[in-house]
């Protein structure tokens, strides 16, 4: 990681551009340049998949076209995010070094093809990447137009080749030191799977071991570490070549193959590619889902992130290529900014003529003119970002955090029971998230390694695995006055997936004033309910349905607020609270329907005086804020299909959007409030 930060005095606006596909058509680049300027585009990402044009034959490099394009872009006020080309390799490379081809978990080696399919361990691949990265760095290290390095593209996947097996064994040796410790950590006496030496270890496979949860978990950790190691080598090659610009790599939406937090530690900016299925269901649900991803990306480094890719109209790989309805592009783009992005970038600037993405939405389509609906909306969005310039430099401050941890997810979803038809971890996190957003609170989405100190409210949905000392952090958080909300299926296993002995949620029985005795998995068609106890301290009056999982708890100090409505555990606690130290610990026993969370969180926020950004928010409106030293900027966005009234306090002045007291579908209003 470099100490360089982007010196941004305007929002980065543009997207992926692939001029290498048009080198025989200089007229196209000329036309694109004019159109980009017209659309207020100030940045393009180049070189993501350019390897075979940059090095068409081994050791024969041709950078002339790239230098020419970057120079011309710069002369026209357009800066460049330059990618390292490792996301897709040329044919000659796989032909010369077959070891770069990935081996699947069933031990079949893949043929050359597609992208993102190379072995991250292969010394040959690393060497070829090092050579080309270093050359790129030497060529562009001093180019004023190159502002950021885009390392590879959407790292993903895994390889099970002999080189990776050896690296995995070494990784394990380093972690466990001796084989007995590994055997204990993985509980290998089960089914007589004890290892005599590290040499016997093989990565998980459908034709071998796949039910040894400790092995599966460590394999996933290894895959992340190997990817991190590969990425760091890419970055070192740039630094060795003299490049000093900051670096980023682009992440994907809810990708389960890597623990992104570990990659984030080594890059200057987190960036991500956002492709929601807009116009499919209730728009506010898609908006919340997307918002949660934005917040996750921002929370990894607790600083502004970059929206690296999004689609100006419809992506062609979704089941249906739904066009974005008029106005939605701007709304979705400004939503990213509201959640802390310093950029709006598209995939792609110009639509390709052939191959897989020829029908993927683009700023400039095959028609090639500026008189298209999409181009006009892109231009309007660019103008909005110029208008919102003063927001640059601000960041998002959150009073609430939700713990959403990838290692927890790996372990929980790999386990057998208590519900192999689906545990709904992501959905459970989303329900709490939506409720907090609906109450107009900024929310960080953090993992177990992060500090809880700055929050008033922390939510820990389905924290099955406790790691990184989370139980100690949660205890002191509550002790010092924090409000903690935890759910069923929490504190069950340690970090190698061994069950805790002596009662769960592990080590927090006194904090919650209860012990989980049993958990009931419900069939798809089954439901239970949560019934408020008369005169409960939160004044909850409504009953709610619950599904999937019902935790049966034994109280030891906690006060029940709701009870189960049916089954043999009817009348036993379903929601509890316990005062511990200066704070309160709430325990939600079952997977309740969404309105329950809205009701519960609204009551908890009111009771514990946790203030929202705005007080009364109609359904379908999303409210977010960014703050700098002087102002809080409040983004109000209408994702409903109706025009809604909106009354803002007199302390706020509107700096963007209409001032009529109402907000139309997809409209954004930004108001400003002076701090102190």
Cα 587 to Cα 643: distance, rounded to the nearest angstrom: 38
Given candidates 19, 204, 315, 382, which one binds ligand GAL under the rule CB under 6 A? 315
Task: Indicate the residue among 120 and 587 with the shorter CB distance to ligand GAL.
Answer: 120
- Contact between 519 and 590 under an 8 Å Cβ cutoff? The reply is no
Given candidates 17, 120, 272, 347, which one binds ligand GAL under the rule CB under 6 A? 347
- Contact between 301 and 341 under an 8 Å Cβ cutoff? The reply is no
For 356, counting Cβ atoms within 10 Å of its Cβ (0-12 exposed, 13-18 middle, 19+ buried), the class is exposed
Task: Indicate the residue among 44 and 493 with the shorter CB distance to ligand GAL.
Answer: 44
Q: Least CB distance from residue 14 to ligand GAL, whole Å?
A: 14
Cα 463 to Cα 451: distance, rounded to the nearest angstrom: 16
Catalytic residue status for 594: no
Cα 551 to Cα 549: distance, rounded to the nearest angstrom: 7
Given candidates 55, 158, 268, 273, which one binds ligand GAL under the rule CB under 6 A? 273
Q: Least CB distance from residue 321 to ligand GAL, whole Å?
A: 11
In a 3-state reduction of DSSP, which class is residue 423?
coil
Given candidates 169, 350, 360, 506, which one binds ligand GAL under the rule CB under 6 A? 360
User: Is position 209 an interface residue for ligand GAL (rule: CB under 6 A)?
Assistant: no
The tally of CA atoms less than 13 A away on the side-chain side of residue 570 is: 5
Q: Least CB distance from residue 347 to ligand GAL, whole Å?
A: 4
User: Is position 275 an interface residue for ligand GAL (rule: CB under 6 A)?
Assistant: yes
Contacts of ligand GAL in 473-502 (CB under 6 A):
none
User: Is position 309 an interface residue for ligand GAL (rule: CB under 6 A)?
Assistant: yes
Cα 95 to Cα 93: distance, rounded to the nearest angstrom: 5
Task: Indicate the residue among 121 and 153 with the shorter CB distance to ligand GAL.
Answer: 153
User: Is position 407 an interface residue for ligand GAL (rule: CB under 6 A)?
Assistant: no
Task: Indicate the residue among 271 and 342 with the shorter CB distance to ligand GAL.
Answer: 271
User: Is position 591 an interface residue for ligand GAL (rule: CB under 6 A)?
Assistant: no
Q: Least CB distance from residue 286 to ligand GAL, whole Å?
A: 16
User: Is position 298 an interface residue for ligand GAL (rule: CB under 6 A)?
Assistant: no
| DSSP code per residue over 175-198 | HHSSHHHHHHHHTTTGGG---SSG
Choosing from 20, 55, 99, 154, the catalytic residue is 154
Catalytic residue status for 154: yes
Task: Report how many residues bind ligand GAL under the rule CB under 6 A.
Answer: 9
Go through the chain and tell me how many residues it has: 676
Q: Least CB distance from residue 309 to ligand GAL, whole Å?
A: 6
User: Is position 47 an interface residue for ligand GAL (rule: CB under 6 A)?
Assistant: no
Which residues line the annotated binding site for Zn(2+)?
Answer: 119, 159, 161, 164
CB-CB neighbours of 393 under 10 Å: 14
Which residues line the annotated binding site for substrate?
Answer: 115, 153, 317
For 234, counting Cβ atoms within 10 Å of its Cβ (0-12 exposed, 13-18 middle, 19+ buried), the class is buried
- Contact between 114 and 125 under an 8 Å Cβ cutoff? The reply is no
Cα 592 to Cα 77: distance, rounded to the nearest angstrom: 53
CB-CB neighbours of 654 under 10 Å: 15
Beta bridge partners of 195: none
- Contact between 460 and 423 under an 8 Å Cβ cutoff? The reply is no
Cα 673 to Cα 656: distance, rounded to the nearest angstrom: 13
Q: Least CB distance from residue 427 to ligand GAL, whole Å?
A: 23
User: Is position 153 an interface residue for ligand GAL (rule: CB under 6 A)?
Assistant: yes
Q: Least CB distance from residue 25 to ligand GAL, whole Å?
A: 21
Beta bridge partners of 248: 150, 269
User: How far from each other are the two terminal CA atoms of the chain, in whole angstroms?
Assistant: 36
Q: Residue 362 is encoded by which pair of tokens?
A: 């683009």
Beta bridge partners of 13: 344
Nearest to 676 by CA among 627, 635, 636: 627
Asked if the peptide bond before residue 277 counts as cis, ω within 30 degrees of 0, the response is no
Q: Least CB distance from residue 585 to ligand GAL, whole Å?
A: 40
Cα 628 to Cα 396: distance, rounded to the nearest angstrom: 9
Choosing from 309, 407, 471, 527, the catalytic residue is 309
Cα 109 to Cα 317: distance, rounded to the nearest angstrom: 26
Q: Least CB distance from residue 482 to ligand GAL, whole Å?
A: 38
Which residues line the annotated binding site?
Answer: 115, 119, 153, 159, 161, 164, 317
- Percent helix, strand and coil across the chain, each to the nearest 5: 35, 20, 45
User: Is position 154 an interface residue for ligand GAL (rule: CB under 6 A)?
Assistant: yes
Cα 19 to Cα 442: distance, rounded to the nearest angstrom: 40
Taking CA atoms, 259 is separated from 174, 227, 443, in Å, by 20, 10, 20
Nearest to 20 by CA among 348, 369, 367, 375: 348
Catalytic residues: 154, 309
Residues that bind ligand GAL (CB under 6 A): 153-154, 273, 275, 309, 315, 347, 357, 360
């Amino acid at each position: 990681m470099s100490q360089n930060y982007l010196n941004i005095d305007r929002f980065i606006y543009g997207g992926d551009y692939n001029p290498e596909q048009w080198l025989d058509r200089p007229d196209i680049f000329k036309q694109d340049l004019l159109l980009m300027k017209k659309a207020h585009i100030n940045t393009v990402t180049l070189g993501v998949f350019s390897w075979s044009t940059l090095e068409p034959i081994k050791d024969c490099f041709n950078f002339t076209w790239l230098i020419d394009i970057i120079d011309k872009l710069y002369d026209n006020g357009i800066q460049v995010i330059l990618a390292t080309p490792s996301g897709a390799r040329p044919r000659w490379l796989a032909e010369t070094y077959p070891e770069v081809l990935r081996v699947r978990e069933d031990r079949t080696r893949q043929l050359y093809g597609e992208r993102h399919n190379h072995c991250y361990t292969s010394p040959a691949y690393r060497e070829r990447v090092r050579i080309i990265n270093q050359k790129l760095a030497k060529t562009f290290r001093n180019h004023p137009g190159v502002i950021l390095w885009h390392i590879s593209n959407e790292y993903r996947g895994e390889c099970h080749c002999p080189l990776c097996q050896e690296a995995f064994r070494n990784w394990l040796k380093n972690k466990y030191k001796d084989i007995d410790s590994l055997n204990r950590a993985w509980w290998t006496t089960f089914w007589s799977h004890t290892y005599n030496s590290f040499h016997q270890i093989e990565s998980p496979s459908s034709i071998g071991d796949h039910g040894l949860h400790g092995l599966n978990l460590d394999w996933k950790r290894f895959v992340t570490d190997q990817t991190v190691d590969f990425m760091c080598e890419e970055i070192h090659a740039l630094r060795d070549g003299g490049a000093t610009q900051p670096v980023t790599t682009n992440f994907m939406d809810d990708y389960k193959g890597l623990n992104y937090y570990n990659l984030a530690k080594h890059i200057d900016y987190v960036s991500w590619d956002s492709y929601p299925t807009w116009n499919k269901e209730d728009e506010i649900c898609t908006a919340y889902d997307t918002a949660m991803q934005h917040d996750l990306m921002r929370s990894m480094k607790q600083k502004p992130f970059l929206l690296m890719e999004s689609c100006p109209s419809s992506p062609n790989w979704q089941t249906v290529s739904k066009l974005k309805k008029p106005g939605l592009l701007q709304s979705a783009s400004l939503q990213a900014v509201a959640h802390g992005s310093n950029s709006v970038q598209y995939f792609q600037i110009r639509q390709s003529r052939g191959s897989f993405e020829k029908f993927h939405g683009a700023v400039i389509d095959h028609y090639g003119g500026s008189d298209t609906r999409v181009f006009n909306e892109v231009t309007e969005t660019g103008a909005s970002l110029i208008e919102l310039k003063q927001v640059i430099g601000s960041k998002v401050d959150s009073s609430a955090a939700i713990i959403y941890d990838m290692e927890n997810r790996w372990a929980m979803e790999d386990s057998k029971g208590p519900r192999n038809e689906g545990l709904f971890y992501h959905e459970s996190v989303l329900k709490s998230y939506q409720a907090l957003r609906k109450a107009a609170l900024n929310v960080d989405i953090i993992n177990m390694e992060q500090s809880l100190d700055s929050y008033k409210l922390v939510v820990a949905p389905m924290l099955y695995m406790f790691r990184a000392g989370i139980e100690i952090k949660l205890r002191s958080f509550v002790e010092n006055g924090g409000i903690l909300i935890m759910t069923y299926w929490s504190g069950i296993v340690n970090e190698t997936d061994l069950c805790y002995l002596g009662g769960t949620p592990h080590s927090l029985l006194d904090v919650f004033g209860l012990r989980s005795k049993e958990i009931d998995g419900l069939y798809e068609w089954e439901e239970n309910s949560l019934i408020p106890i008369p005169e409960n301290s939160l004044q909850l009056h409504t009953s709610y349905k619950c599904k999937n999982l019902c935790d049966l708890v034994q109280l030891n100090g906690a006060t029940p607020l709701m009870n189960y409505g049916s089954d043999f555990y009817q009348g036993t606690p379903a929601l509890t609270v316990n005062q511990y130290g200066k704070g309160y610990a709430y325990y939600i026993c079952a997977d309740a329907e969404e309105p329950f969370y809205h009701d519960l969180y609204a009551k908890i926020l009111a009771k514990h005086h946790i203030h929202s950004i705005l007080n009364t928010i109609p359904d379908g409106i999303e409210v977010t804020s960014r703050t700098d030293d002087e102002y809080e900027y409040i983004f109000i966005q209408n994702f409903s299909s109706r025009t809604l009234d909106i009354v803002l306090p007199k302390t706020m002045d509107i700096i963007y959007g209409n001032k009529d007291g109402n907000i139309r579908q997809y409209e954004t209003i930004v108001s400003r409030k002076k701090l102190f």
